[in-house]
Amino acid sequence: MPAMFDGVKLAAVATVLYIIVRCLNLKSPTAPPELTYQDTALNRFLLKSCSQLTKEYVPPLLWGKSGHLQTALYGKLGRVSSPHPSGIRKYLPMQDGATATFDLFEPLKDHQTGDDITMVICPGIGNHSEKHYIRTFVDYAQKDGYRCAVLNHLGALPNIELTSPRMFTYGCTWEFAAMVGYIKRTYLQTQLVVVGFSLGGNIVCKFLGENRVNQERVLCCVSVCQGYSALRAQETFLQWDQFRRFYNFLMADNMKKIILSHRHSLFGDGLLKKVDADLSRLYIATSLMQIDDNIMRKLHGHSSLKEYYEKESCVHYIHNVDVPLLLVNSADDPLVHDSLLAIPRTLAAKKPNVIFALTLHGGHLGFFEGDVLFPQPLTWMDKVIVGFANTMCQWEKQKPPCQSGLLTGSSCIEAKA
């Protein structure tokens, strides 16, 4: 009998270890990002000078290969040992009565090129300048000589009241445009590096593609972990693979809290009847699509959910972006379905100004680096954005007049260290 019990214990331990290895994806290899791009002089310079794009991304060994744990750690903690950069909050009145806000952080040293460079940053859904991952990135960029302007999504800051019956959406670019306009008017010599995280990536790419005038004085753009098409993404958010339906529920719950915190501004004085919104359906909503269909699309005057998602998505505008554009996604991002990645991959294969970088690991806005257990304060994401921006600044400073990044070929490769 004792021998039999020992065998059962051994089998139980083996089963637990197998589950741990599978869930933590411990057998998955580390690798450089898979890159899709065209062979141009600029792209060759970028890949030679921006080492983060060609070297292995190494997440923490014990948990960093799980997209869920990367995403959960980002969502719960944001970052490790998050700094507290000092900035000034700016308030911009909009034509419809709304008040856009953004935080402005001055550089902590001169940029290596000697030029005045401003990063205009758009955070993820319901986020703002006080989020840990934004603070960590801003502090890092400041120390590298960048001024940073961070948009606070309309309604996202808990201590700032709405001044009109409108809040942020997936693709409304009005507040971001107001912030960029302020920066251009105030700093006449500055050049811009445009950065968007998750939903913010959709907004910045849509902003640049809506009107080519928006690309004036823009050196480059970096988008991280966006989904490109809200219409296509909504179908995948109802699926249970990668627990996407569960994430949908969590994001819907957060969205409900933001909306209800501004219920008087959004629905007071008869506005609820005017927009035909049903608050009772908001209380019981379990998905972003239910909230968007019953509340958000009506607040913004769209006749259907399909129309709302179509007009909010950068997929219809991103092909108009002509400045150097780095699109970053992770293969294990539980929020962005693999089918959506055909959009940036196809775009990078067709347009010489686009590089699509797909990491094996990183989750959604995680990209933590480390040895075994503990992550480093700075992430691969922070380093690749600043590294790409630095390389673009160097290119603009030293490029020969004859070199304009003309197409000489195309390739989709897995870069080697």
Q: Which of 153, 262, 364, 382 is an active site residue? A: 364
**pLDDT tier at 127 (50, 70, 90 boundaries)?**
very high
Cα 120 from Cα 192, distance rounded (Å): 7
**Cβ–Cβ under 8 Å, residues 352 and 38:** yes
Q: Which 3 state secondary structure label does DSSP give 369?
A: coil
Active site residue 278: no
**pTM for this one?**
0.90
pLDDT in tens, 140-152: 999 999 999 999 9
Residue 406, pLDDT score: 42
Residue 305, pLDDT score: 95
Active site residue 364: yes
Q: Which of 103, 129, 139, 198 is an active site residue? A: 198
Q: Which of 333, 337, 361, 382 is an active site residue? A: 333
Contacts of 308 (CB under 8 A, 6+ apart): 292, 296, 297, 300, 302
271 has a pLDDT exceeding 70: no
Mean of per-residue pLDDT scores for the chain: 89
15 alpha-carbon distance from chain centroid:
37
Cα 7 from Cα 11, distance rounded (Å): 6
Cα 119 from Cα 142, distance rounded (Å): 10
Residue 15, pLDDT score: 42
Q: In the numeric block, which tokens belong to residue 232?
A: 């296509």
- 104 residue type, one letter: L
Q: In the numeric block, which tokens belong to residue 228?
A: 């490109």
**pLDDT tier at 273 (50, 70, 90 boundaries)?**
low
DSSP string, 255-304: HHHHHHHTHHHHHTTTHHHHHT--HHHHHH--SHHHHIIIIIHHHTT-SS
CB burial readout 361-400, b (16+ within 10 A) else e = bbbbbbbbbbeeeebbebbbbbbbbbbbbbbbbbbeeeee
pLDDT in tens, 359-417: 999 999 999 998 888 899 899 999 999 999 999 999 998 876 655 444 433 344 443 33
Gap between the terminal Cα atoms of the chain: 55
Which stretch of DSSP H or E encloses residue 4?
helix 2-23
CA dihedral 230, 381, 160, 257 (to 10 degrees): 50
The residue among 27 and 178 whose pLDDT is bigger is 178
Chain position carrying tokens 């700075």: 378
Cα 250 from Cα 286, distance rounded (Å): 8
Active site residue 144: no
pLDDT in tens, 109-121: 999 999 999 999 9
**pLDDT tier at 23 (50, 70, 90 boundaries)?**
low
Q: CA 239, 240, 245 angle in degrees (round to 5)?
A: 75
- 215 residue type, one letter: Q
Residue 14, pLDDT score: 43
Contacts of 270 (CB under 8 A, 6+ apart): none
What count of other Cβ atoms lies within 10 Å of the Cβ of residue 187? 16
Residue 398, pLDDT score: 87
Q: What is the mean pLDDT of the segment spanning 308-319? A: 97
